[in-house]
Amino acid sequence: MRWWTLPVLAIVAWFVYTLTPLYALYGLARDVQAGDVEAVERRVNFRTLRLSLVRQATATVRSAMAADPSLDSRERQRLNDAATGIALALAESLVTAKTVTDLLDDGWPEGLEGPRPDRVARPRGLRVDGIGSLIRFYLASEMRGFRTVVMAAPPDAPRADQLRLRLRLRGTTWRLIDLEVTESLRDRFAQKLAKALARVRSGDRGEPRGEPRPPAAPPVTPPGGEP
């Protein structure tokens, strides 16, 4: 055996290994296009996906709060804690097998309130139409160590309009564990979170000005007794 045989075999083995997440991505895209929610559910870790959405939404809101000079450090910390709790509740309701399938299908979950922004009016989700699509996904993929890979969908779209899928190898199966949503979708989630926080702040201030409480009724003294 020549000295260069082992390095060449190692390179070939690594190249073949980097193709395996591409096969998993193709299977996920096929299930999404078929609308097979149960099959998609088997390929996704929803716990880590919900935590990912919480992290993305709260990061946007915290940046806005950090730039608000009217908040002192104690109130900012309290609102940060409230934002995390509210975001967790929103993620529980928004990140389901059905909404994830809708999101991967055309880049926007159908159950989300409000109209779809103009910039994502055209369907731009996870689409694998042939060998050319697979090659573009492969060239745009990023291996993160031995067990994690990040792929962008669509691979040729601007970064702000891409879904970035993080797959991790568990046993012999690649599963979707993280999903970085598009800029428009992240802003929509942050708006829902900001509205909920605004209700928290208004509740802390008490009743709005201009609407005083009605005066308390005077005590009624029973005949011949004390009030």
Domain for residue 38, yes or no?
yes
How far is residue 103's CA from residue 154's CA, in Å, rounded to a whole number?
Answer: 13
The answer to whether 157 and 173 are in contact (CB under 8 A) is: no
Domain for residue 14, yes or no?
no
Q: Across residues 47-68, what is the average pLDDT? A: 81
pLDDT in tens, 93-123: 778 899 899 889 888 777 666 666 665 545 5
How far is residue 32's CA from residue 104's CA, in Å, rounded to a whole number?
Answer: 7
Domain for residue 219, yes or no?
no
Is residue 156's pLDDT more than 80? yes
Domains: count for the chain: 1
Domain for residue 183, yes or no?
yes
Domain for residue 99, yes or no?
yes
Mean confidence (pLDDT) of the chain: 79
Given pLDDT bands bounded at 50, 70 and 90, which one contains residue 78? confident
Can you tell me which residue has the tokens 């809101």? 61
Whole-structure pTM value: 0.74
Domain for residue 7, yes or no?
no
Percent of the chain predicted with pLDDT > 90: 23
Is residue 198's pLDDT more than 80? no
Domain for residue 106, yes or no?
yes
What domain range is 82 assigned to? Answer: 20-113+121-203
The answer to whether 25 and 43 are in contact (CB under 8 A) is: no
Q: Across residues 38-51, what is the average pLDDT? A: 91
Q: How many CA atoms lie within 13 A of 122 on its CB side?
A: 7
Is residue 157's pLDDT more than 90? no
Domain for residue 191, yes or no?
yes
pLDDT confidence of residue 84: 82
